[in-house]
Chains A and B, each alone.
Chain A
Amino acid sequence: MKITFFDVLGYLLKWKYLIIAITVVVLVFSYLYIEHRQHYSAEVIIKYTDSTAAEGKTPNGAKLDVYEIISPDIVLKALDKMKAKLPVESVRSSISITPIIPLSEIELQKAKTKLGEEYAYHPIIYSVRYTLSKSVNKYGDYCRDILDNIIDEYMIYFSETYLNQTRISELETGTDIAKNDYIEIAEIMDDNLKDIIAFLDSRQSNTPNFRSPTTGLSFSDVLFRYNTIRTMDMPTVFSDILNGRATLNKEVLIKKYTGRKDNNILSANKNHEQSNLSFGLMEQYVEGNKNVPNSYNTSRNSGNDDKIATIDDVVAGRYYNREKATYDILVEHYTNDGVAAIMDNIDANYCNNIINIFSTEPSEDVNAEKLGRKVESNLEKVSLKLNEQYPILDSTINDFNRYMAAQNIACLTGVNVFATIPTKLYMLISLIIAFALGAILAIAIEILAGLKKRL
Chain B
Amino acid sequence: MIKQLLNRKRFIIAFTVLFVCVSAGVNFLAKYNRQTMILTLSYEGTNRGLNPDGTRFVISEIKSESILDDALKHANLNNYTVSDIKDRIDIYPIISSASLQNVRIKVAEGADYAHIPNEFRISYSQKNKFEKNHTVNLLEALAKAYKDNFINKYVASNDCLLPESYNNSDYEFVEIADLYAGKINSMIAYLQKNNSEAGAFRAQSNSRTFGDVIMPLQNLRNVDVEKYKSFIIKSGLAKDKDAYTNKLRYTVDIQSYDYEKAYNSAKFTENAITKYDPNITGIMFIPSLDNIDGFYMNRTKTGIDYLATDAYKRGTTAGSIKASLDYKKYLIGEFESKDNSVEEHQRLSEIAHEMLSTIDSKMYEISGLAIETDEEYLQTKTGNYIQFQLPSNRFIGYFSIRKIISSGMTGLILSFLYVIAIAYIRSEVQPSTRRRRAISKSKTSMEVAGK
The answer on A and B forming one complex is yes
Partner of B100, one of A232, A279, A334, A413: A413
Q: Are B282 and A294 in contact (CB under 8 A)?
A: yes
Q: Which chain A residues in 300-343 approach chain B with CB under 8 Å?
A: 300, 308-314, 316-320, 322-325, 327-328, 331-332, 334-335, 338-339, 342-343
CB distance from B216 to the nearest CB of A (A): 20
Q: Are B87 and A328 in contact (CB under 8 A)?
A: no
Q: Are B104 and A406 in contact (CB under 8 A)?
A: no
CB contacts (< 8 Å) of B297 on chain A: these are 308-311
In the complex formed, the residue of B with least CB distance to A9 is B425
CB contacts (< 8 Å) of B99 on chain A: these are 413, 416
CA distance A417 to B120 in the complex (A): 13
In the complex formed, the residue of A with least CB distance to B92 is A141
Q: Are B301 and A6 in contact (CB under 8 A)?
A: no
Q: Which of A111-119, A162-170, A209-217 forms part of the interface with chain B?
A: A209-217
CB distance from A126 to the nearest CB of B (A): 10
CA distance A104 to B429 in the complex (A): 68
Interface SS, A side: helix
Partner of A236, one of B52, B104, B247, B302: B247
Q: Are A346 and B153 in contact (CB under 8 A)?
A: no
Partner of B425, one of A6, A45, A216, A320: A6
CB contacts (< 8 Å) of A446 on chain B: these are none
Binary B-proximity of A359-378 (CB < 8 A = 1, otherwise 0) = 00000000000000000000
B27 at the interface (CB under 8 A from A): no
CA distance A403 to B48 in the complex (A): 13
CA distance A215 to B159 in the complex (A): 8
- Tally of B interface residues using CB under 8 Å: 103
CB distance from B382 to the nearest CB of A (A): 11
Binary A-proximity of B239-268 (CB < 8 A = 1, otherwise 0) = 000010011111101100100110011001
B103 at the interface (CB under 8 A from A): yes
CB contacts (< 8 Å) of B296 on chain A: these are 308-311, 314
In the complex formed, the residue of A with least CB distance to B310 is A335
B189 at the interface (CB under 8 A from A): yes
CB contacts (< 8 Å) of A320 on chain B: these are 286-289, 298
Q: Are A414 and B103 in contact (CB under 8 A)?
A: no
Given contacts A9-B429, A289-B283, A402-B56, contact A316 B298 (CB under 8 A): yes
CA distance A214 to B265 in the complex (A): 41
In the complex formed, the residue of A with least CB distance to B264 is A342
Given contacts A141-B92, A406-B56, A414-B93, contact A100 B107 (CB under 8 A): yes
Q: Are B100 and A416 in contact (CB under 8 A)?
A: yes
Q: Are B156 and A216 in contact (CB under 8 A)?
A: yes
Q: Are A331 and B104 in contact (CB under 8 A)?
A: no
A139 at the interface (CB under 8 A from B): yes
Q: Which A-B residue pairs are the 8 nearest by beta carbons?
A: A328-B303, A317-B288, A216-B157, A216-B159, A317-B289, A239-B250, A145-B60, A412-B114
**Interface contacts beyond A218-B186, A403-B54, A414-B117: sample of 16 additional A-B pairs, CB < 8 Å, sorted by A:** A102-B109, A103-B109, A140-B92, A152-B58, A212-B156, A213-B153, A292-B283, A300-B299, A310-B285, A316-B288, A323-B300, A324-B303, A342-B265, A342-B268, A346-B264, A413-B99
B-side residues, CB < 8 A to A, are 48-50, 52-56, 58-60, 63, 65, 87, 90-93, 95, 97, 99-100, 103-104, 107-110, 113-117, 152-160, 170-171, 175, 178-179, 182, 185-186, 189-190, 193, 243, 246-251, 253-254, 257, 260-261, 264-265, 268-269, 272, 275-277, 279-280, 282-291, 293, 295-303, 306-307, 310, 425, 428-429, 432-433
